Amino acid sequence: MIIKRLSQKFNVVFPTRRQAWRWLLPILLVFLFLSTLLWLPWQTQRMEANERQEQLIADTLWVEQTIRFQLGRNEENLRTIASEVTAGYLTDTRLRDRLVTMIRNNRELTRIVRFDADGKMIMSSDDSAISLNEYSTQSRMTAEQARESKTGLYSHPAAMPGTSGPILLDYHVPLLIGDQYLGSLVATYSLSSILNEMVPWWFAQDNEIALTDQDDIVIDKRAAGGPGRSVYTHRRALDLPGAALTLSTNSVKSEPKLLPSLLVASVIALSLGLLWSLWALWRDINRRLAAEGALRHQVSFRTAMENSLMTGLRARDLEGRITYVNPAFCEMVGIPAEELVGRSPPMAYWAPEAMDEYQQRFTQVLAGTVTPQFETIFQRSDGERFPVLIFESPLVDDSGRQTGWMGSILDISDRKQVEDLNRRQQEKLQASARLATMGEIASTLAHELNQPLAAISSYTTGALNMIDNRAALGDEFDLDMLKPALEKAGTQAQRAGQIIRSVHTFVKRREPSREPITVQALIDGVIPLVELQARQFFVATQVQIAPNLPSVLADSVMLEQVLLNLTRNAIEAMQNVAPERRILRIVASLENDAAAQPSVVIAVVDQGHGIPQEVAERLFSPFFSTKAEGMGMGLNICRTTVEFHGGTLVHANNPAGGTIFRFALPVLSETVAETATAEQKADA
Amino acid sequence: MLHIVDDEEVIRDSLTWLARSRAITTSTYDNGAAFLAALDTKKSFDPQGECVLLDVRMPDISGPALFDTLATRGLAQRLPVIFLTGHGDVPMAVDTLKRGAFDFFEKPFNDNKLMDRVQEALLASCDAGASAEIQSRLGNLSIREREVLDLILAGKMNKVIADELGISMRTVEVHRAHIFDKMNVKTAVELARLLK
């Protein structure tokens, strides 16, 4: 639960089994390291304690040796004196000198007294009178034992009876000549003097030194460095004949503490730091793993995407060197990526014949200006050319600095084919739509042909009637009378012929051929048919053509078709408006925009019902029609045709009500010059 | 007088020329409204008879609509209408003929045949003018006078008439005198010929 919550809180991913194995060794090592780290100060402490203990033992031994040695030497001296006394060498004066000298040389000795066999003082080193009876009980008992054993013995330490003076240690040396007991020599040591004089100061400084009896009762002690801590202690028996004394040393030093605790603290701090850093590392690694996983996923996704992409991708640096191509691009041009990346222009996929275009574009790339979208051709490795559509956009890095150019390359050979097919179908459709239009106007045509025919018939019949009745008319009859009627008949016959001619060119299906043609001729060619339709709906036709309009390169039949379609729509749009508003205007003017190529704009203006917004949106869609019998191809074909001529077909609302359809045709450049020179000449 | 109502200038002109060649006077109107306006200011009918050549398709008022207007004004007889059409739509032709149009011509027509029919129409117009006169005279008769008139035309004597109607001889004679006066005749024979 807690782990789960923690993991949620810190966003920690727990390792899987395989990762756990990988983690086991470092974790074990860390624990080993930590335990070593903890064990080490403890061990150090112990070693130090041992060392001190050993040092103490050694020092104690040394001190004991020193005491023993000193006491032994004194024993030796006393025995020498005793033997000299028994041999009778020493007079009283000399004995006294010897004793005084000895006392002076050995400050631990308090005094030396020579007693006779009855325990009366014969000679004393300090001239004070003292009898053996004044000595402590233990001392007197030792005197007896010494006398019996005939060897020097130490008494048990004790104070002088009846005084609380210093604890004294007496050494009894019996004076014997043979078995004759002459008395004894008693050397008295003060225990505190022994400790003070015999133990060196440096030892006394660090240790409490005590002398204890066999019952561990402290007889005397020296504690110059303070009381002992009972941490490092050693006991050593002094092994004096007659007295059981033990030397106890107790170091004033406590167990080693300060250094280890610092060490432990630092070890703990280090361990905690280590654990924390381990955890941080683990978390970091987890994050890295997660990021790496995400990255791997992204990379594989992107790679898969790039590989499955049909669009070729090509990245270039600012010098135009290729820095990246995707498999689709390689497949497109048939060159492996390693032969493309790093290459500078000219590229292997450039078609030799279009090299100028590429170079021009490449100059633009270097200048930092790139056409965002253009069509060109590339060459496959087998030499085959194919059309491509290229979208170029700047390649910008994280800091917003442009590092190169990214291009998407579409192989549009399929699309081109489809476009060709579409165009052919459009042409067919146009032809059939032309026929359909023809069918629609056929009845109108019949009616309209009837008008001139009927008129011709009436004029001629009337003229014939006149001639037949000339007798009846008599003088009134004049041949000149017939002239206007016959002239009018002729005019009507021509009108009929014009209608038939324009219909004939209208139905004829042919390949588009663009020839220089004046707008005047274009509009004149179509006006008879337009008027024919206009009359059917009682629409007045007005034509306004600006003077000196330059020629355009156009297929006149196709454009006539466009004009007919537009005018027919315009006429039909005015079916339900008041007759005085039924005015169809065809306006041609020159648009000389400085920025663009000059063009001739032809506008078809009606004052009909206008185009509602929802219809306007679908106006140019194929098979969309507002007419019950309409095919929905008219405007679509018109637009295609206008675009084929390099122009655009747009519509706008007529401010005076109704609609304006307008299309622009690029002016034939030579004719502009011609017109200009013509005008100059005219001015001159 | 031939009224030509057609929006086509050429047609009006050529038909005028044709009518002139047959010595028929014409007046032309380029739309129906102009023609109706002319009718409104018209004082009297041409004694030579009048007829209308009407184009079916016209901008403001179509031919049949104009014809219906004439019919509701009771002028269908006095102004016989001959329709002209460029579209040979037979149903419309039949329809107009049923409603009392004089004739129906499809362009291109045989001009002299059209003129023949025009002349017939003019005659019919004259007849219609005459019968319209008689009708208006008859309209002036009272109900009793109509009864007496019917019996006179049946060839009955005054006495019999008086008996049948249950009135006196004297009263019949007064009615008879009024009838002759109103019908503008002198004798019963003349009356019978008029109402034949």
| Whether B7 contacts chain A with CB within 8 A | yes
Residue A599 Cα, gap to closest chain B Cα (Å): 38
CATH 3.30.450.20 domain extents, chain A: 47-251, 309-411
The tally of CA atoms less than 13 A away on the side-chain side of residue A294 is: 5
Q: Do A459 and B86 touch (CB under 8 A)?
A: no
DSSP letter at A350 equals: B
Cα–Cα distance, A435 to B135 (Å, whole number)? 59
Q: How confident is the model at residue B26 (pLDDT cuts 50, 70, 90)?
A: very high
Q: Do A461 and B18 touch (CB under 8 A)?
A: yes
Task: Please indicate whether residue A650 or residue A364 has the higher confidence score (pLDDT).
Answer: A650
Cα–Cα distance, A595 to A445 (Å, whole number)? 45
Using CA atoms in the order A359, A360, A366, A372, what is the torsion angle rounded to 10 degrees? -120
Give the pLDDT confidence score for residue B49 in this predicted structure: 84
| Start-to-end C-alpha separation, chain A | 104
Cα–Cα distance, A97 to A125 (Å, whole number)? 8
CB atoms within 10 A of CB B195: 15
Question: Which of B16, B17, B61 to probe the A interface (max A CBs under 10 A)?
Answer: B17
Cα–Cα distance, A187 to A154 (Å, whole number)? 9
A349 within 8 A of A336, measured Cβ to Cβ: no
Q: A481 Cβ partners below 8 Å, 6+ apart? A: A466
* Chain A residues within 8 A of B109 when measuring between CB atoms: 454, 457
Q: Is the pLDDT of residue B8 over 70?
A: yes
Q: 3-state SS of B120-174?
A: HHHHHHHHHHHHHHHHHHHHCCCHHHHHHHHHHHCCCCHHHHHHHHCCCHHHHHH
Q: Is the pLDDT of residue A564 over 70?
A: yes
**Residue A455: which of B7, B10, B21 has the nearest Cβ?**
B10
How large a percentage of chain A has pLDDT more than 70? 87
Task: Please indicate whether residue A651 or residue A256 has the higher confidence score (pLDDT).
Answer: A651
A610 within 8 A of A566, measured Cβ to Cβ: no
* Chain A residues within 8 A of B87 when measuring between CB atoms: 443, 446-447
Nearest-by-CA chain A residue for B86? A447
**Amino acid (one-letter) located at B4:** I
CATH of B2-137, one of 3.40.630.30, 3.40.50.2300, 3.30.460.10, 2.60.120.20: 3.40.50.2300
**Residue A453: which of B8, B60, B108 has the nearest Cβ?**
B108
Q: How confident is the model at residue A504 (pLDDT cuts 50, 70, 90)?
A: low
Cα–Cα distance, A675 to A671 (Å, whole number)? 6
Q: How confident is the model at residue A16 (pLDDT cuts 50, 70, 90)?
A: low
Cα–Cα distance, A615 to A280 (Å, whole number)? 67
Task: List, in sequence order, every residue forming a beta bridge with A391; answer none if it has no partner.
Answer: A373, A408
**Residue B21: which of A450, A453, A465 has the nearest Cβ?**
A465
A423 within 8 A of A459, measured Cβ to Cβ: no
- What are the CA-CA distances from residue B39 to residues A272, B45, B63, B70, B128 (Å)? 123, 10, 16, 10, 17
**Residue for token digits 């609509």?**
B65
| Whether B9 contacts chain A with CB within 8 A | no
* Chain B residues within 8 A of A456 when measuring between CB atoms: 14
* Chain A residues within 8 A of B10 when measuring between CB atoms: 451-452, 455, 488, 492
How large a percentage of chain A has pLDDT more than 90? 3
* Chain B residues within 8 A of A443 when measuring between CB atoms: 87
A459 within 8 A of A485, measured Cβ to Cβ: yes
Give the pLDDT confidence score for residue A660 in this predicted structure: 92
A368: left (phi over 0), alpha (psi -120 to 50) or beta: left
Reported as a single tens digit per residue, the pLDDT across A225-253 is 788 888 888 888 888 888 888 888 888 88
* Chain A residues within 8 A of B15 when measuring between CB atoms: 458
Q: Is the pLDDT of residue A603 over 90?
A: yes
Structure tokens at B160: 């019999």
Q: Do A488 and B109 touch (CB under 8 A)?
A: no
Cα–Cα distance, A426 to A80 (Å, whole number)? 154
B151 within 8 A of B164, measured Cβ to Cβ: yes
Vertex A376, ends A374 and A381: CA angle to 5°?
Answer: 140
Cα–Cα distance, B55 to B3 (Å, whole number)? 11
User: Which of A652-661, B115-124, B186-195 shows the lowest mean pLDDT across its residues?
Assistant: B186-195
Vertex A657, ends A654 and A658: CA angle to 5°?
Answer: 70
* Chain A residues within 8 A of B8 when measuring between CB atoms: 451, 455
Cis peptide before A346 (omega within 30 of 0): yes
Q: A532 Cβ partners below 8 Å, 6+ apart? A: A441, A444, A445, A448, A499
Give the pLDDT confidence score for residue B4 in this predicted structure: 92
**Amino acid (one-letter) located at A217:** I
Q: Is the pLDDT of residue A682 over 50?
A: no
The burial class, CB within 10 Å (0-12 / 13-18 / 19+), for A341 is: middle
Architecture per CATH, A510-684? 2-Layer Sandwich (3.30)
| Whether B113 contacts chain A with CB within 8 A | no
Reported as a single tens digit per residue, the pLDDT across A64-93 is 888 889 888 888 988 888 888 888 887 788
**Residue A488: which of B13, B86, B111 has the nearest Cβ?**
B13
| Whether B21 contacts chain A with CB within 8 A | yes
Q: Do B17 and A462 touch (CB under 8 A)?
A: yes
Q: Do B86 and A448 touch (CB under 8 A)?
A: yes
**Residue A450: which of B18, B60, B86 has the nearest Cβ?**
B86
Q: How confident is the model at residue B39 (pLDDT cuts 50, 70, 90)?
A: confident
| β-pairing verdict for B103-106 and B81-85 | parallel
**Residue A443: which of B8, B60, B87 has the nearest Cβ?**
B87
Average pLDDT for A47-66: 88
Q: Provide the CATH topology of domain A47-251.
A: Beta-Lactamase (3.30.450)
Domain boundaries, chain B: 2-137, 140-194
A158 within 8 A of A141, measured Cβ to Cβ: no
* Chain A residues within 8 A of B23 when measuring between CB atoms: 469
Helices (H), A168-322: 191-198, 201-206, 258-308
**Amino acid (one-letter) located at B44:** S
Residue A556 Cα, gap to closest chain B Cα (Å): 30
Average pLDDT for A204-220: 85
Nearest-by-CA chain B residue for A578? B60
Q: Do A454 and B11 touch (CB under 8 A)?
A: yes
Q: Do A488 and B14 touch (CB under 8 A)?
A: yes
CB atoms within 10 A of CB B168: 10
A240 within 8 A of A154, measured Cβ to Cβ: yes
Q: Do B86 and A462 touch (CB under 8 A)?
A: no
* Chain B residues within 8 A of A445 when measuring between CB atoms: none
Averaged pLDDT of chain A: 80
Average pLDDT for A344-357: 78
| β-pairing verdict for A233-237 and A218-222 | unpaired
Give the pLDDT confidence score for residue A684 in this predicted structure: 44
Reported as a single tens digit per residue, the pLDDT across B104-119 is 888 777 888 889 999 9
Q: Do B109 and A469 touch (CB under 8 A)?
A: no
Task: Return the beta strands (E) in A380-519 as ranges.
Answer: 385-396, 402-411, 515-517
Vertex A146, ends A145 and A150: CA angle to 5°?
Answer: 120
Give the pLDDT confidence score for residue B59 in this predicted structure: 76
| Whether B11 contacts chain A with CB within 8 A | yes
Q: Is the pLDDT of residue B185 over 60?
A: yes
* Chain A residues within 8 A of B117 when measuring between CB atoms: none
Q: B55 Cβ partners below 8 Å, 6+ apart? A: B5, B6, B7, B8, B11, B63, B83, B84, B85
Residue A615 Cα, gap to closest chain B Cα (Å): 28
Question: Which of B10, B57, B85, B112 to probe the A interface (max A CBs under 10 A)?
Answer: B10
* Chain A residues within 8 A of B112 when measuring between CB atoms: 461, 465
CB atoms within 10 A of CB B90: 10
CATH superfamily of A309-411: PAS domain (3.30.450.20)
Task: Please indicate whether residue A60 or residue A680 has the higher confidence score (pLDDT).
Answer: A60
Domain B140-194 is found in CATH 3.30.540.10:
no
The tally of CA atoms less than 13 A away on the side-chain side of residue A352 is: 2
Q: Do A461 and B21 touch (CB under 8 A)?
A: yes
How large a percentage of chain B has pLDDT more than 70? 97
Cα–Cα distance, B51 to B84 (Å, whole number)? 13
Residues from A contacting B (CB-CB < 8 Å) are 443, 446-448, 450-459, 461-466, 469, 485, 488-489, 492, 538, 579
Cα–Cα distance, A103 to A197 (Å, whole number)? 13
Cα–Cα distance, B115 to B105 (Å, whole number)? 11
Q: Taking CB atoms and an 8 Å cut-off, how many pairs form between chains A and B?
A: 79
Q: Do B111 and A458 touch (CB under 8 A)?
A: yes
Structure tokens at B96: 């107009």
**Residue A450: which of B13, B23, B108 has the nearest Cβ?**
B108
Question: Which of B107, B109, B114, B118 to probe the A interface (max A CBs under 10 A)?
Answer: B107
**Residue B17: which of A451, A452, A458 has the nearest Cβ?**
A458
Q: A244 Cβ partners below 8 Å, 6+ apart? A: A156, A213, A214, A237
A378 within 8 A of A386, measured Cβ to Cβ: yes
Selection from A324, A342, A302 nearest residue A408 by Cα: A324
**Residue for token digits 């004739």?**
B103
Q: Provide the CATH topology of domain A413-509.
A: Helix Hairpins (1.10.287)
Nearest-by-CA chain A residue for B108? A454
